[in-house]
């Protein structure tokens, strides 16, 4: 009895070459992931919650003026951008919102640098003089479980396009 196994690569060679080319430079796939995550972050602003679904503590301005927390001028929300490369995608704030993005994400205290107190007008229009302003953390950037699923599907779709 003679047993023989034959593997014919020729019909799949083109597919394998296209797949290797896609894996070698994932920039288009990373750009798709960037768009997905920017959309998810913008949805966090619209729904007023962190990536894990935890609702943000309402801001005094939003309560007094009937607006949304972290959405006054819209600069922070619209300032989220992505940059894709061959093996990664970076997502984060840009432009004018970059100055105050971190304190809203992580929370913290604002203290005067040289004066004895901070002076500002509150959301109610009243003048205020305080020694410290405490900002609660309102995380808007991050990757949810749903985002991870979307990332996986996006990469599979991108690589699957090599087939045909």
**Model confidence pLDDT, tens digit, residues 31-42:** 999 999 999 999
Read off the pLDDT band of 10 (50, 70, 90). Answer: low
Q: Are 75 and 55 in contact (CB under 8 A)?
A: no
Which of 126-159 are b and which e, b meaning 16 or more Cβ less than 10 Å from the residue's Cβ? eeeeeeeeeeeebbbbeebeebeebbeebbeebe
Position 19 scores a pLDDT of 74
Beta bridge partners of 120: 128
Question: Residues 6 or more apart from 117 whose CB is under 8 A from it?
Answer: 129, 130, 131
Position 16 scores a pLDDT of 73
What gap in Å lies between CA 140 and CA 86, rounded to an integer? 26
Residue 29 has pLDDT above 90, yes or no: yes
Residue 79 has pLDDT above 90, yes or no: yes
What gap in Å lies between CA 59 and CA 109, rounded to an integer? 15
The structural domains of the chain, with segments of one domain joined by +, span 11-107+137-163
Average pLDDT taken over every residue of the chain: 89
* Of 47 and 2, more confident: 47
What gap in Å lies between CA 120 and CA 70, rounded to an integer? 18
Q: Is the dihedral of CA 88, 91, 96, 98 positive or negative?
A: negative
Read off the pLDDT band of 8 (50, 70, 90). Answer: low
The structure's pTM equals 0.82
In Å, how far from its chain's centre is CA 140? 7
Q: Per residue in 88-135, pLDDT tens? A: 999 999 988 888 899 999 999 999 999 999 998 888 888 999 999 999
Give the start-end residues of each E strand in the chain.
80-84, 89-93, 108-110, 118-121, 127-130, 133-135
Closest CA to 40 of 118, 164, 160, 145: 145
């Amino acid at each position: 009895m003679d047993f023989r196994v034959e593997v014919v690569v020729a019909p799949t060679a083109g597919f394998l070459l296209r797949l290797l080319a896609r894996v070698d430079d994932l920039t288009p796939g990373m750009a798709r992931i960037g768009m997905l995550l920017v959309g998810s972050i913008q949805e966090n602003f619209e729904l007023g919650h962190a990536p894990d679904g935890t609702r943000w503590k309402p801001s005094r301005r939003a309560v007094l003026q009937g607006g949304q927390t972290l959405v006054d001028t819209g600069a922070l929300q619209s300032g989220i951008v992505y940059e894709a490369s061959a093996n990664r995608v970076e997502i984060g704030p840009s432009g004018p919102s970059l100055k105050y993005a971190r304190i809203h994400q992580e929370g913290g205290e604002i203290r005067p640098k040289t004066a004895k107190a901070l002076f500002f007008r509150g959301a109610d229009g009243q003048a205020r003089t305080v020694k410290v302003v405490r900002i609660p953390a309102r995380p808007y950037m991050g990757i949810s479980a749903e985002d991870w699923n979307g990332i996986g599907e996006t990469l599979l779709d991108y690589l699957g396009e090599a087939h045909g």
